[in-house]
Amino acid sequence: MLILASNSPRRREILSRLGYGFTVEPSSFEESAGGLSATETVRAFARGKAEDVFSRHGDALVLGADTVVALDGEILGKPKDGEDAARMLRRLSGRTHSVFTGVCLLGKGYRAEQIAETKVTFFALPEELIADYVREKRPLDKAGAYGIQDGYPLVKAYEGSYTNVVGLPAEIVSALLEEALGGNKC
Which residues are known catalytic residues? 66
Query: Which spans in the chain are helix H?
Result: 9-17, 38-54, 82-92, 127-137, 162-166, 170-181
**DSSP state, residue 35:** T
- Which residue type is seen at 152? Y
CA–CA separation, 23 vs 73, rounded Å?
35
User: Residues near 12 by Cβ (< 8 Å), separated by ≥ 6?
Assistant: 4, 6, 24
Instruction: Work out the angle at residue 63's Cα, subtended by the Cα atoms of residues 36 and 3, and round it to the nearest 5 degrees.
Output: 140
- Which residue type is seen at 120? V
CA–CA separation, 158 vs 120, rounded Å?
4
Select from 114, 136, 122 the least CA-distant residue to 76: 122
Q: Chain-centre distance of CA 18, in angstroms? A: 16
